[in-house]
A and B are shown apart, each in its own frame.
Chain A
């Protein structure tokens, strides 16, 4: 029991370079930006227009259309601040509040994309993601009179929230894979609604996608299988983006692979580039 607690503490309390987390923050901000038009079109149930509403909690009100548009416009500067790492924690908190409201205002607004983005925003808010590859890091380097990249890549912080994001990504894969383990999906019936391929091809793609989603949570964690798993995962997401037009979600999942690299790998790569 004591050994288990020690492993748990060691895993969650470990410190290391957080350059990967910083780069993920920037790429995730790009995803948030790209998602705004979709959110504007698909969260409209938060508008108070006298129509049917199904809020998660009865006391969450719908808002007038003008406020709804404002809530989307407000996200632009906040996303920019998050990307730059300037007042990033406050920006992440404000984005979490706005997107959380749009999400909770009506159950009809539910989309897996927006739910995942909310969770990632929460974890980024709590993480030290803005301590590196940020304007704050630039200012710190200027004050110390050292090179910006070197200073930023040297930043070490607890990896707790980076690892929590990794686990969250793995949960998404694994549960999505579990849901697909039934004959109708594996026969290709579900994919047949979206893709115009012969049944044998649909069945093959269905089996592959389910197997891959069940494998990736393990393959991405293990050092030996990580490179191949990343390649397979990137291929999978590019295929999803291409065939199902799910672009932003796919890009966010690919960006999260940065967090699975050994914490020292990215700084070493960037130093070489520098």
Chain B
């Protein structure tokens, strides 16, 4: 199998690009803490103890309050823990808010603990998660 110089150059370019991506992608998971991102693509397999407590309520315009069954929003319990990070929660909130009637508010308590660390709120308690977050808010 004769390999041309041009073909070899292309293969080596692919190798360099592949290695660069495979080194750069895991960096995100290595340098950012797990509260910020789940660290997919970083090979953080069975490396941390991550515990969360989750509760969402809908405050209806007529004053009634009803609980949101968090686990029921997912296709299995195994998936419900995957979005409990600051970078994924806003998408989930947008989806929950999309289902609400005008004037309803979504409020949540999402508190998580990484290994020995303290419990940290990932959403602002007593805040309508359907209204735009103030500048600089996580």
Binding site for B on A (CB under 8 A): 8-9, 12-13, 42, 44-45, 47, 49, 51-54, 107-108, 110, 112, 115, 119, 126, 128, 157-158, 160, 164, 167-168, 171-172, 175-176, 178-180, 182-185, 189-191, 193-194, 244
Which chain B residue has the least Cβ–Cβ distance from A168? B22
B10 CB to closest chain A CB (Å) equals 11
Which chain B residue has the least Cβ–Cβ distance from A113? B45
Write 10 A-B pairs (CB below 8 A) sorted by A numbering: A12-B12, A49-B75, A107-B40, A108-B74, A112-B45, A160-B11, A171-B23, A175-B44, A184-B48, A184-B49
B110 CB to closest chain A CB (Å) equals 15
Once the chains bind, are A167 and B19 in contact (CB under 8 Å)?
A: yes
B6 CB to closest chain A CB (Å) equals 13
B12 CB to closest chain A CB (Å) equals 6
| Contact residues of A: prevailing secondary structure | helix
| Contact residues of B: prevailing secondary structure | loop
Does any Cβ of A come within 8 Å of B65's Cβ?
A: no
Query: What's the count of A-B pairs with C-beta under 8 Å?
Result: 106
Which chain B residue has the least Cβ–Cβ distance from A128? B1
Given contacts A52-B73, A52-B95, A110-B82, contact A176 B19 (CB under 8 A): no
Once the chains bind, are B92 and A52 in contact (CB under 8 Å)?
A: yes
Does any Cβ of A come within 8 Å of B42's Cβ?
A: yes
Chain B, interface size category, equals: 35 or more
Which of these, A45, A52, A160, contacts B15 with CB under 8 Å? Answer: A160
Q: A175 CA to B76 CA in the complex, in Å? A: 29
Q: A262 CA to B60 CA in the complex, in Å? A: 68
Which of these, B11, B30, B74, contacts A52 with CB under 8 Å? Answer: B74
Does any Cβ of A come within 8 Å of B119's Cβ?
A: no
* Chain A residues whose CB sits within 8 angstroms of the CB of B83 once the complex forms: 54, 107-108
